[in-house]
Structure 1
């Protein structure tokens, strides 16, 4: 009898995770490696990538650390080429790299706005373009958006909201371009509030002030987001494309 859990395995596949140096990116990379994938770790902080690669190897996996600034299209090309050179293929891309600001619209500078879009939206596009051209066996692209693309949460985040909403639109369009023609599924995940370096920068009391909107009365655990990524990356999610999966403890329902 077929075991459904086998469809969550990624043995023989290669996954690239951007923004993998810490937080949810690191949790995701570890989960993909535990599911059998060879993992390419891409981020600007190369020293942290080395530590994560060592953790994956110590757990029996294979990993390659590649210093990558996703805002640079050439750097994205180099990361995809490094994956091919080391592992011979690319099957999964997780566009997790992102930055956030909380600047009132009346004071946000052009440079601040552009920086957020360059990393969160354009960076995801350049990485997807570089990897999509090299996914010869089909594959899965997962764009990490945010609940801030779908609702507001009391902070002035116009640039961040615009970039994450743009990811959802990009996801739908690339799915209709690539899934039927190239066998590449493209989906997005909209995480709610998790304990990360980004949330650690919130003003004191902010998370408590919005906690009444959490139907699950807590912030998320990293493994809960990583599990959603694993579903979309694997054959278990093989009939899902062009969608946005919200993982937010019910935040967007209130």
Structure 2
């Protein structure tokens, strides 16, 4: 008899299981905070925080599956619950999407608020406008790239935070993983949790009090299209090879 696991559970039986997974993610994150607050142990705390992020990824997958999104039919899907590196690749993809939406939202807000110095020379005004816009876009893209590059190192950082290793020299967790690493991982972890909570809100019945049915369907259909079409042949195993 085939063992029943997340990957072969029906969407009906998967309903609300994401909540248990997310609760475990929160516990791991809380334990990570205690290690920092009490012992200043940034290495072990970083490893726990990465494990917490992996659980949030799992919660997102189960949540989407329970609402009929075909995430388990994607290429490499069998590795979602076994392969930590594939989950980190998923995290990179989520970060990319979140960064794109952040940029769009910030761009809209900025257009309303920004004040570019106005001169008597039209060409100078245009140049200032261009430089301002270019700097804004590059700043947002640069931030996203830095986060994604950080996620690529998650699996190595997780192991480095737990274990002593030797690669041309002795590698001790407390010296290999520092406060800066921890803060970077914490930032990515918090953004991932925000994305999970946004999905929970999207699927909550009371969302109709805040968004029109048309808008809700537009968002859900966009999500379906992204998962079913854009990611259809996407290989999560290959993403780390992209330079």
Specify if TM > 0.5: no
Q: Which has the larger radius of gyration?
A: 2
More strand by share: 1
More helix by share: 2
TM-score, structure 1 length as denominator?
0.25
TM-score, structure 2 length as denominator?
0.26
